Chain A
Amino acid sequence: VSDDAGGGGTITLSRRAAGPVLARVLGVLGARAELPVDRVSDLLVVADLIAGAHDDDGGAVRVEFATAARRVDLVVGPLADGAAQRLLDQPQVAGVALLPRLADEVELVGGPGERHVRLRFG
């Protein structure tokens, strides 16, 4: 995650709360970074994708974040292999996975059982 004066941070939360919390937090980060409103909307969709990718098995959702001028960076994980793949591949619209279309950069890093997905917006 890139560094910035506005401050990066980490959020850890249970699966049930992930969607509502991440939508609010990512919305704030997008506005802080002065992203265009359509990109802020993209972040709100991504919040739901992150929440939906996690199994409802009691595991925690963890997201590191940082903002800079017109840029938001996220690192999601650690993720189980299945969750990382779901985040990258699902859901699809007209056969196209959403996340790679919404983010400007998507990178899967880490080894089995310790996957992280790096995302850049802007």
Chain B
Amino acid sequence: VTTVPERLGLSLPALPENVLVARQAVTGFCEALAFPVAVIENVRLAVTEACANVVVHAYAKDAVEHLELDATAVPGGVVVVVCDCGRGVGDEPGAGLGLPLIDALTDAYELEALEAGGTRITMRFRDDDARIDASV
């Protein structure tokens, strides 16, 4: 018997309104996998932050390029990858809370600069690990 991984893939223009699309999609995905509510809250908040970073920082102003999201169920949790083909992590001013928040919400995360240009963030969540109970 072949087990097909549960997977969600999204390809969207990196526009503010699409952050909500990504948030809703990943929420529905985690609900379908019957994750605890507190874990779903962590996943969707981290995904919102990662996608907002792409929209705000990845591309030059008025350049609408793509945001890619891939979520895959793995034993004991879910891995979510958000990537862009933009200008990479720079020194743009910001609140500086995005990555620390993602660090707090995930079991682990990795930020990579892609050779072809762009940035990929890989976020791992355990399904028994409610790191921040955002419902409180």
Contacts and interface: CB of A to CB of B under 8 A. Distances in A.
A28 B64 CA distance: 20
B91 interface: no
Contacts of A9: 10-13, 18, 21
Among B9, B20, B27, B32, find the residue whose CB has the most chain A CB atoms closer than 10 A. Answer: B32
Contacts of B20: 28
Given A9-B13, A9-B18, A58-B2, A17 B8 contact: yes
A7 B18 contact: yes
Interface residues of B, number: 25
Contacts of B21: 9, 25, 28-29
A13 interface: yes
A25 B25 contact: yes
A12 B9 contact: yes
A77 B13 CA distance: 20
A17 B29 CA distance: 5
Contacts of A7: 12-13, 15, 17-18, 64
Interface residues of A, number: 24
A11 B33 CA distance: 17
A20 B17 contact: no
Contacts of A29: 21
Interface string A4-15: 001111111110
A14 B6 CA distance: 5
Interface in A1-42: 6-14, 16-17, 19-25, 27-29, 32
B17 A6 contact: yes
A79 B108 CA distance: 37
A24 B24 CA distance: 6
A20 B32 contact: yes
Given A25-B21, A32-B17, A58-B2, A11 B28 contact: no
28 contacts: A7-B13, A7-B15, A7-B17, A7-B64, A8-B13, A9-B12, A9-B18, A9-B21, A10-B11, A11-B9, A11-B25, A12-B7, A16-B32, A17-B28, A20-B28, A20-B31, A20-B32, A21-B8, A21-B28, A22-B28, A23-B28, A24-B25, A24-B27, A25-B25, A27-B24, A28-B20, A29-B21, A58-B4
Interface of B: 2, 4-13, 15, 17-18, 20-21, 24-25, 27-29, 31-33, 64
Interface of A: 6-14, 16-17, 19-25, 27-29, 32, 58, 60
